[in-house]
Structure 1
C-alpha cells in the first residue's frame, strides 16, 4: 500500500467477505483520514498521494484487526455522535445513528430547558452528554451497572466539558434506586437483542461489543423495558416523559406493556431506515 488509492483497493478486496463495497470504502476513508490528517474529500481528490512507510505499516495492522471483525471505532478508540467525539472501547456499545434520532426527538420535545433528565444504561454516555451539551440548563444524571462503562462515560463527559452525575446501579433492582427529586425526562436505550436477532447480526457486534449491554432472554425480551417503566412510574413528575429506543420487532408489545401500566400519549416513531425504533410516552393515571 504505497498510495491512498492502493489502500482503498486493498481494503476493498480484503474486507469483501465482511463488508459490502460501500461500507469498506467508508471504513477505509475513516482510517486513512485518521492516519494522514487529510479530510475524506482530500483523500478522494488526490488518490495518488503517497503514504509513508509508517502509515503503510499501521494500515496493515488495522486491516488485520478489521479482517478479524473488530469494529473500526474500537480500533481507532473513538467515534462521532451528534457532532461530538466519544471515546469507545469494548466496555461500551458503539453509538448508532438511530440513537442520534432519539436524542433529536427529546430535544424537540423539551419546552423548558431547565429540566431534570435521567439516562438509564448510559454506556459511553452519548445520550446524557449530548443532551447536557445541547440543553445547557438541564440537570442530567446517568445510570449504568458496568464500572468500565461508567469510567468511559466520565472521561467522555470531561472531554466534552459537561457536568453529569454518574451512578452505578442495576435498573433491574430499581427498588434500591432513589432520585433526589422527581424527573422531567427518563430516557433509555436498554439491552433488547434476542438470541434470534443475534443470528442475523454482524460478527463485529456479536463478537466484540459488550453482551450485557446488548442481549436479553428470548423468553423475556421486554425485561428492561418493564423495569424502567416501573421505575418511571415512581420517579417521573406528573407531566414527565419517558423515551425508549426499542427493538423493531417488539414495537406493538412495548406499546401494550406501557398501556397496561397506564402510560398515556404513546408515540411510536420510525428511524431513518423506516424501522420502528423509538417510543415517547407520558405518565398517566397515577
Structure 2
C-alpha cells in the first residue's frame, strides 16, 4: 500500500473519535517514529510504498488510537521542557502546564547556584531532570512510590545526561526526608473522584490511577503531608512549589499558611490557578 492511501484510511478510521487536526498530528508523529520521515518528506513522496512490516506497525498503532490509548504510550516517548522523555503505563504523561512550574523555579534561582532540590512523586522524572539540566550546579533528588516509574525516570536521566538521586519511598508513610533542601517541588495526585466525569478516556483508561486521583473526603492529604515535612526539612529561606487542583486553591493556600509559609498563587497558560509557592518564613 502507498503511504497516501494509508493516510486516507488512517483519517477515515479515526474521523469519529478525534478532530481532523489531531488525527493529522498523530499521523505525522507516527511517520516520524516508524519511518523516520518528516512532513516535508511525506509531501515530496506521497506515493512511497509501505512494506508489509511497516504497514503492520501502522495498523497496530491505528487500532490502539481507536481504543483511545495516548499517542505518547504508543510511541513510548514525549517532550517536556525541550527534552525527550520515555513514558509508559507506569508514568503520567507530562503536561505543558507543569513546564510552567519548572520555569517558575528556574526564574527564582540562578544557574550558578549550588542548591539542593527534592522532587516528590517524580513519575517519569520530568521535573527533576529538567531542573538538573538547567541548574547544573544543583544537587537534585527525586522520590516516588512506584519502582516501575523510577526505572523509567532513571532511563530518562541517562537519556538527558543528568545526575539525579532517585529514592523509592511512600511519602505518606515517611516520618522525615533524607536531607534538608533549598527547594521542594511536587505535582502530587490531586484529581478528586467526583472530577473523573470530566476526564478524557485516554486519561481515565490508561494513565496510572495512583498518580492522579485522591478520595473526595480528603483531597489534600498529599499537600498536608508534604508541607508538614517541608516545614522541617527546608533550609532557611527555602521554597516549596506545588502543582495544585484549581478548585481547591484557597484550601491549599490556607494549608500552607497554617504551616507558616508565605504563599503565592500563579495561573497557568489556560488562565487557571495551577501553581502555588510557599516561602519558608
TM range (shorter): over 0.9
The structural deviation recorded for 1:277 is: 1.1
Rounded to whole Å, the distance in 1 between the matches of 2:10 and 2:242 is 37
8 Å contact kept, 2:177–2:229: no
The structural deviation recorded for 1:113 is: 2.3
Count of aligned pairs between the two proteins:
279
Which structure 2 residue ranges, 5 or more long, are not aligned? none
Which structure 1 residue ranges, 5 or more long, are not aligned? none
Query: Following superposition of structure 1 onto structure 2, how do residues 22-37 of structure 1 map, counting pairs within 5 Å?
Result: 22-37=21-36
Other-structure match for 1:118: 118
Query: Following superposition of structure 1 onto structure 2, how do residues 219-258 of structure 1 map, counting pairs within 5 Å?
Result: 219-258=217-256
Rounded to whole Å, the distance in 2 between the matches of 1:2 and 1:249 is 49
- TM-score when normalising by structure 1: 0.92
Rounded to whole Å, the distance in 2 between the matches of 1:9 and 1:47 is 15
8 Å contact kept, 1:91–1:209: yes
Question: Mean Cα displacement is larger for which, 268-277 or 221-230?
Answer: 268-277
Q: Select 1:185's aligned residue among 183, 203, 226.
A: 183
Other-structure match for 2:275: 278
Rounded to whole Å, the distance in 1 between the matches of 2:64 and 2:117 is 38
Report the RMSD for the aligned CA atoms in angstroms.
Answer: 1.6
Q: Against the structure 1 CA distance between its residues 150 and 21, is the aligned structure 2 distance closer, same or farther, given a 3 Å change threshold?
A: same
- TM-score when normalising by structure 2: 0.94
Q: Cα deviation per residue 1:231-262 (whole Å; 9 max; x = unaligned)?
A: 11011012001111111211122112112222
8 Å contact kept, 1:30–1:40: no
Rounded to whole Å, the distance in 2 between the matches of 1:219 and 1:18 is 34
Query: Following superposition of structure 1 onto structure 2, how do residues 262-277 of structure 1 map, counting pairs within 5 Å?
Result: 262-264=260-262, 266-277=263-274
Other-structure match for 2:258: 260
Aligned to 2:264, the other structure's residue is in SS state strand
The structural deviation recorded for 1:51 is: 3.8
Rounded to whole Å, the distance in 2 between the matches of 1:276 and 1:6 is 45
8 Å contact kept, 1:7–1:28: no
Aligned to 1:277, the other structure's residue is in SS state strand
Other-structure match for 2:164: 164
Query: Following superposition of structure 1 onto structure 2, how do residues 28-67 of structure 1 map, counting pairs within 5 Å?
Result: 28-43=27-42, 45-46=43-44, 48-53=46-51, 54-67=53-66
Rounded to whole Å, the distance in 2 between the matches of 1:104 and 1:194 is 26
Q: Against the structure 1 CA distance between its residues 184 and 72, is the aligned structure 2 distance closer, same or farther, given a 3 Å change threshold?
A: same
